[in-house]
Homo-oligomer: A and B are copies of this chain.
Amino acid sequence: MKLNIALLAGDGIGPEVIDQAVKVSDAIAQKFGHEITWKPALTGAAAIDAVGEPYPDETHEVCKNADAVLFGAIGHPKYDNDPSAPVRPEQGLLKMRKALGLFANVRPTFTFPSLLDKSPLKRERIEGTDLVFLRELTGGIYFGEKGRKDNGDTAYDNCVYTRAEVQRLAKKGFELAMTRSKKLCCVDKANVLETSRLWRETVQAMEKDYPEVEVSYEFVDAVAMRLVQWPNSYDVLITENLFGDILTDEASVISGSMGLMPSASMGAEVSLFEPIHGSYPQATGLNIANPMATVLSAAMMFENFGLMEEGKAMRDAVNKALEAGVVTEDLANGGKVYGTKEVGDWLAANV
């Protein structure tokens, strides 16, 4: 297969971890006979510094014309203190999601047996956890009309959803559930919000098309509780943008493997793959960041092209590295510490 991949390294440790994912992906391509062309483009603080814009038009062109986007991380402390500053890296992120139509953010939370003890939760609570959130990513209160009235003394944010937006996301949820344990949880706040009632009635109406899927409906506050109590009781969860923002982050810390969690943002045309850890500015350039989440994100990318064996080979390599103790300092646990680059080299040699 010929693959054209936009490469958005971004800020902080982004470039370092992206380099390793490229190296491992190239090793896979060689092994399985694919040809990957990487198209680097600017984003985040790096793009603001270079061209004054966190998601420049040229970057959008590159992404639009690619088969997929591999993304590092964005965010830089110099933009952190003033959320109302006119240009911020986050705006680039939101603009990119909207412009590329990345409507479904896929965030798995799973456990690695060797990392279970890193979880803040007790082992018996977390064992066997393997859930996936599908978060709606281009609608809701993030993109509704917002502004001020009364000389700035009143602020408002409008949350809007259409039935078609809910259907599009829910369809992905039902389909994903069909490939897993056929359990789907719709997370909403239908006892208070009209948008949630639209979500719920839309999903309810789709149930008949997927008779094998067992659907449950839970309020967002109840899910925030149960995620901590019994994370392994969930499988596929679908939810709107803001609830998804909060719950996927909550879910990311329960497994103890946050540094290893990949994600995907799916659009109708192009999809984007990125580690969920941030830009971790303090570690920039130190060759200490863990590249495994980015490598696993690249594995999701291969699988999304239908290249299941390729994805599995990458995941197997990560598992082998964990077992062999070829890990960065966050996972070293007093044992030998490898650098970002060295872990990447090892993975590339072992796929």
Partner-B contacts on A (CB < 8 A): 83-84, 88, 90, 94, 120-122, 125, 141-142, 144, 146-148, 150, 152-164, 189-198, 200-201, 220-222, 224-225, 227-229, 242-243, 245-247, 249-250, 252-254
Between A and B, 27 residue pairs with Cβ closer than 8 Å are A83-B190, A83-B196, A83-B200, A84-B197, A90-B191, A120-B125, A120-B229, A141-B141, A142-B192, A146-B193, A147-B194, A152-B163, A153-B164, A154-B160, A154-B198, A155-B195, A156-B158, A156-B159, A156-B195, A157-B158, A220-B245, A221-B245, A221-B250, A225-B250, A228-B228, A228-B250, A246-B246
8 closest A-B pairs (Cβ-Cβ)?
A: A83-B190, A155-B198, A221-B249, A224-B250, A146-B194, A153-B163, A155-B194, A155-B195
Q: How far is the CA of A141 from the CA of B105 in the complex (A)?
A: 24
**Smallest distance from the beta carbon of A177 to chain B beta carbons, Å?**
21
Distance between Cα atoms of A30 and B44 in the complex (Å): 66
Chain B residues in 8 Å Cβ range of A222: 249
Query: Residue among A84, A94, A155 with the most chain B CB within 10 A?
Result: A155
Contacts of A242 in B (CB 8 A): 189
Establish whether residues B158 and A159, one from each chain, have CB atoms under 8 Å apart when the complex forms: yes
18 new A-B contacts, CB < 8 A, other than A90-B191, A141-B141, A148-B194, are: A83-B190, A84-B190, A120-B121, A120-B229, A122-B122, A141-B192, A142-B192, A147-B194, A155-B161, A156-B160, A156-B195, A158-B159, A159-B159, A189-B242, A224-B224, A224-B250, A227-B250, A228-B250
A265, chain B: closest CB distance, angstroms: 16
The distance in angstroms between the C-alpha atoms of A141 and B229, with both chains bound, is 27
> Which B residues touch A190, using CB under 8 A?
83-84
Give which listed residue, B153, B192, B194, B201, contacts A90 with CB less than 8 A. B192
Complex-state Cα separation, A122 to B200, whole angstroms: 36
Most buried by B among A153, A157, A201, A252: A157
A221 to B258, CA, bound (A): 14
Whether A192 contacts B228 in the complex (CB less than 8 A), given A159-B158, A245-B221, comes out as: no
**Contact of A192 with B250 in the complex, beta carbons under 8 Å:** no
Rounded to whole Å, the gap between the CB of A12 and the closest CB of chain B is 16
Q: Establish whether residues A156 and B144, one from each chain, have CB atoms under 8 Å apart when the complex forms.
A: yes
Q: Is the CB of B157 within 8 A of A193?
A: yes
CA gap between A147 and B161 in the complex, in Å: 11
Residues of chain B within 8 A of A195, CB atoms compared: 146, 155-157
Residue from A83, A142, A193, A196 having most chain B Cβ neighbours under 10 A? A83
Closest to A199 in B: B155
The reply to whether B247 and A228 form a contact with Cβ atoms under 8 Å apart is: no
CA distance A200 to B155 in the complex (A): 12
Judging by beta carbons under 8 Å apart, are A83 and B153 in contact? no
